[in-house]
Amino acid sequence: MPSSLHCESQHDAMKVDASRPLPQTPSNSEQFNRLQNLFDKSFKAARVGIWECTLPDETLTWTDTVYELFELEPRSPLVREATVALYLPESRKKLTEVRSAAIRDGDGFTLDAQIITGKGNLRWIRITAIVERVDGQPVRIFGMKQDITAEKTLFEQIRHSAETDPVTGLASRTKFDTAFDEAVTAGSSGQKALLLIDLDSFKAVNDRLGHQAGDECLRDAGRRISEATPNATVIARLGGDEFAIIVDCASVESLDDIARRVTGKLEWWVGSFPNKLKVGASVGGAMILPGIPAKDIFAEADGALYAVKAKSKSSLGVLSVPNRIADVA
């Protein structure tokens, strides 16, 4: 890193970085120039720029690549307050926190942050920073800024794929497990409930109307569940024709009402004569109560679901079963 950065390009940064230069012979001079050129090209290809902010006057110096990242006119005057304003509020808050802590008593930080460029484009940058001190006092903070938008976009695509059911667009089993654990961990008495849903006659839809009709049936079920529980914390397809809902719920009576609303929505006809099939649903639920493990709450809802299925083949009702953990609907 440069010791007093007046960098107009990464090439300048390399020159100030080069402590203990080799004796100037034609051979090593040519090699050094070649390495400088490679350094400059590598930084530019990686979308990495160098920055410096002197302390306490907050004077900024950027290399050209940083100007490019922020889509500002190269070599234009920099005012720190104006550049910080380009960060999204959450990133700006985090940057202020980690920067202040590093200047106060640290030696640096790394932060991924979002900015709105001078041209209005959303971009992710990775900031690395080092604090330089003289006699224990911070005199400047400097480091690199790198464009990581492509990396973040790819990560978001992978995350979305892992958390989304590809058929219905609802949450996946992975997403449900995370949300359920969070609800159980943070749960306060009587505030949330779990409902498990099984579609009836879905196998017949697949067997008689084909898998394309089966997929459409699942999508329709997801839409109907969403309409029945618009304020649900999460609605997920667990696999096959099984769905789960985590919903705000103040009491067992409210849970019973929600379950009946869901079963009412999940009664419809699929296909056309003579291959017209009626689809219904069974619903079992349990309150999410403090101190009860997630596996036990899930087992209660699952038990209620299969009690419903055993009681009524039409499965268009809900069953209330009080027990040692919670009332279930």
The phi, psi pair for 9, rounded to 5°, reads: -160, 170
Classified as helix, coil or strand, 296 is helix
CATH code: domain of residue 207:
3.30.70.270
Q: Based on the domain organization, do 190 and 257 belong to the same domain?
A: yes
Q: Based on the domain organization, do 176 and 282 belong to the same domain?
A: yes
Task: State the Cα torsion 71-77-83-85 to the nearest 10°.
Answer: -110
Q: Based on the domain organization, do 192 and 280 belong to the same domain?
A: yes
Using an 8 Å Cβ cutoff, are 168 and 218 in contact? yes
Write out the residue range of the structural domain in which residue 19 sits: 10-153
Question: Which residues does the annotation mark as catalytic?
Answer: 241
Q: Is residue 324 part of a domain?
A: no
Pairing of strands 122-134, 242-248: unpaired
Q: Is residue 257 part of a domain?
A: yes
Q: Based on the domain organization, do 169 and 307 belong to the same domain?
A: yes
Q: What is the pTM of this model?
A: 0.67
- Reading the chain (329 residues) residue by residue, the pLDDT tens digits are 443 344 444 444 434 444 455 455 556 677 767 776 776 677 777 789 999 999 999 999 999 999 999 999 999 999 999 999 999 999 999 999 999 999 999 899 999 999 999 999 999 999 999 999 999 999 999 999 999 999 999 999 999 999 999 999 999 999 999 999 999 988 665 589 999 999 988 888 988 899 899 999 999 999 999 999 999 999 999 999 999 999 999 888 899 999 999 999 999 998 777 778 899 999 999 999 888 999 999 999 999 998 888 876 544 444 444 443 444 34
Q: How many separate domains does the chain show?
A: 2
Q: Based on the domain organization, do 254 and 193 belong to the same domain?
A: yes
**Rounded distance, CA 299 to CA 321, Å?**
13
CATH code: domain of residue 25:
3.30.450.20
